[in-house]
Structure 1
Amino acid sequence: MTSTAAPHVLHVTGARPNFPKAAPVIRALDGLGVRQVLVHTGQHYDPVMSEVFFQQLGLPEPDVNLGVGSGSHGAQTAAVMVALEEMFVADRPSLVIVYGDVNSTVAAALVAAKLQIPLAHVEAGLRSFDRTMPEEVNRVVTDALADLLFTTSPDANVHLGTEGVAADKIHFVGNPMIDTLLANLDTFDPVAVTADLGLEGDYVVATLHRPGNVDDPEQAAKIVRAVHEVADTVRVVIPLHPRGRESFARAGLMDHENVTVIEPLGYVEFIGLVRGSRAVVTDSGGVQEETTMLGVPCLTLRPNTERPVTITHGTNRLVTSDGLAGAVQEALALPRTDTPAVTPPLWDGAAGQRIAAVVADVVGA
């Protein structure tokens, strides 16, 4: 994909969760002959958090990599806004598409709105109703500015309607991240991943990085104690996000012999690891969705979730650190399964095509 002065759709991606959502949309638009430009803001810049996704998901190389890197929320958002404003003024897109709820998402939304460029938000309408989460602020602001709002679950439509979003702006299309999971299902090999890591027997995967869990030393220590309690009975494998490494290390996470801390994995390897696990402990939104489709028990270490469909139609439940060990034991007692008992509506592998059809109609392709 190359930049062009002709009418075109511009995708803004910036962090690991964006890439599996964008891949099926880009692929479907390409099939419809829509001109596209792909921007990677560089919010996530580690190879396994960024480059490997382009390789494994068949994403085209970004036309532009802004390389903004890490920083505070304000510094990171501002850097993306400055760079995108220059781009949009120099080569005005017909439509900007943003994904999820990261800082790059809200930065692009603000720039597009101020320049009066139409904006589409993929994964609109999700709400935890917890404004202490930066992602919730990003979601609310982006949805307020968007012209096209693509939702992944019926509850998201309800939230948007309650907030006064016009019904003709809202399109319930399903979940494009599930498109990516289903398209790659045959490549998720637990045996290969566990062999590479030297793992034998049952294990639980944990992914923890939310500010509410890692920034406060007291809370981080409480979580480490809970993880150690789980590790007393089953191995815990933790692909440790850079954001939480120092905090958890200070709290002694690695001091338990049954806790295996590894570097973040590529998409295929990580989902393979999850697929072979007996349960997953997480504070990530996307992992709640992926475990739902894989039939793996998911214990979300948060007081809320913006993805309640993973509870009503999936394997997810909310837990506290005090109740974590007991919840893991309950999960270990369940029989293994490779499929969900109930599939959330429209999580069928065709969300990207539905999004592309609406976008193509709007931009006149």
Structure 2
Amino acid sequence: MFRITIIAGARPNFMKIAPILKAIEKNKSNGEEIDFRLIHTGQHYDKKMSGSFFEQLGIPEPHANLEAGGGSQAEQTANIMVRFEKELQDNPADVVLVVGDVTSTMACSITAKKLNTQVVHVEAGIRSGDLSMPEEINRMVTDSITDHFFTTSEVANKNLRKAGIEEGRIHFVGNTMIDTLLSNIKNFIDPEIQIDGEILQEKKYFMLTLHRPANVDEEEKLKALMQAIIDNTGDLPIIFPVHPRTAKILINLGISHDRLHFIEPLSYLEFNYLVKKAKAVVTDSGGITEETTVMGVPCLTLRDNTERPETISMGTNELVGTNPQNLKPYLDKLMAGEWKKGGEIPLWDGKTANRIVQQLLEIYKPNLKSPN
């Protein structure tokens, strides 16, 4: 039996593992000697961040929850490593599969390698070049000890080759987050947001998400950024899913407007319903830029760098930067109907998880040694 331990710890992970679990189950039902153990590290947990994802995306209950959330970066990393070490010792695996770039990804990779277990990284090789981002450090450390690399783009392949990774360990398979998006697009849920008693009209509102320290930690910069968004979006509503505590901070800073609407965080299916119908999305998230590209929705990224350049060169995304003054020309172009259309990105076709599982079987099955 080929045993794979799969790690999930934070919201982006769930979108990436869901299709992989389904692909494993499909191969298992077709007679393949393959099985998985799903570990939730507990890095993030609340109903909107975790529970609803498991329900909506058809993810089975984890075999274990390490409950390692909270604390500083170092405390969280240490807690995950200590608890995952015991989990892996009690339940050995042939491969530990990690996805993305959260703390759990790095911590479980290190732990697995120290127990002489193979590590495979899904979404390997992406780089922002910005070491002030915890995610960039997580990516670099994970890829430095990974055995096999599953990539989303040719840019990621080039990054890995530049780091000296031999071709036979790099597997260009596509993007599992897009698998999840395409398989759920018909299931999107209208959250029925009403503005002044009227429902939102398609292409007549903006979606906004902000969470990165470069944008939200400096009060004056945050105020200037929000003002630039309000000043250059015409008369359209701006829908901002935000935690109530963050909304209170924004209001206390005097950041409010008749067209700016704070709403509570949404589930995956509700959020993407609003994204798909929006005129555009203004965000500092990496993953959202991938989803907007596939759905053909204009996206303005409030960052100075991106680890997903293909969403700019081939998609609907533009890198605006974090200077509030940069926003106006981009929003002017959008409001004038002059935004680029974007196109298809290779292998972002909804079949990535199947390619990953087939590749894993090809790599490991011939020389499989079951754990003791």
The two structures share one fold, judged by TM-score above 0.5: yes
* Partner in structure 1 of residue 31 of structure 2: none
Preserved contact between residue 208 and residue 241 of structure 1 (Cα < 8 Å): no
Please give the per-residue CA displacement for 1:119-160, whole angstroms capped at 9, x wherever unaligned: 011000101111111111111111111101100000000000
Mapped to 2, the partners of 1:250 and 1:157 lie a distance apart of 45
Q: How does 1:19-34 map to 2 (within 5 A)?
A: 19-33=14-28, 34=34
Give the percent of matched residue pairs that are identical in Structure 1 and Structure 2. Answer: 44
Mapped to 2, the partners of 1:90 and 1:217 lie a distance apart of 48
Mapped to 2, the partners of 1:244 and 1:322 lie a distance apart of 23
Selected match of 1:323 from 321, 326, 350 = 326
Amino acid at match of 1:305: T
Q: How does 1:2-151 map to 2 (within 5 A)?
A: 7-33=2-28, 34-151=34-151
Preserved contact between residue 95 and residue 117 of structure 1 (Cα < 8 Å): yes
* Partner in structure 1 of residue 274 of structure 2: 273
Preserved contact between residue 99 and residue 121 of structure 1 (Cα < 8 Å): yes
Preserved contact between residue 113 and residue 119 of structure 2 (Cα < 8 Å): yes
Amino acid at match of 2:290: E
Preserved contact between residue 333 and residue 339 of structure 2 (Cα < 8 Å): no
Mapped to 1, the partners of 2:133 and 2:234 lie a distance apart of 31
Mapped to 1, the partners of 2:338 and 2:187 lie a distance apart of 23
* Partner in structure 1 of residue 359 of structure 2: 358
Please give the per-residue CA displacement for 1:292-349, whole angstroms capped at 9, x wherever unaligned: 0011000000011100000111100011321224422322332899xx6411000111
Mapped to 1, the partners of 2:327 and 2:193 lie a distance apart of 27
| TM-score, reference length from structure 1 | 0.91
- How far apart are 1:228 and its partner, in Å? 3.0
Q: Which runs of 5+ in 1 are unaligned?
A: 1-5
CA distance 1:315–1:205, shift in 2 (3 Å): same
Aligned pairs, how many?
A: 355
CA distance 1:129–1:53, shift in 2 (3 Å): same
Mapped to 2, the partners of 1:354 and 1:14 lie a distance apart of 23
CA distance 1:357–1:23, shift in 2 (3 Å): same
Selected match of 1:229 from 195, 216, 231 = 231
* Partner in structure 2 of residue 177 of structure 1: 177
- How far apart are 1:29 and its partner, in Å? 1.2
CA radius of gyration, larger in: 2
1:307 is the counterpart of 2:308: yes
Mapped to 2, the partners of 1:121 and 1:248 lie a distance apart of 37
CA distance 1:148–1:247, shift in 2 (3 Å): farther
Preserved contact between residue 106 and residue 142 of structure 2 (Cα < 8 Å): yes
Larger displacement relative to structure 2 (22-31 or 154-163): 22-31
Larger displacement relative to structure 2 (302-311 or 327-336): 327-336
CA distance 1:218–1:195, shift in 2 (3 Å): closer
1:193 is the counterpart of 2:194: no
Please give the per-residue CA displacement for 1:168-196, whole angstroms capped at 9, x wherever unaligned: 1110000011011111121235xx33456
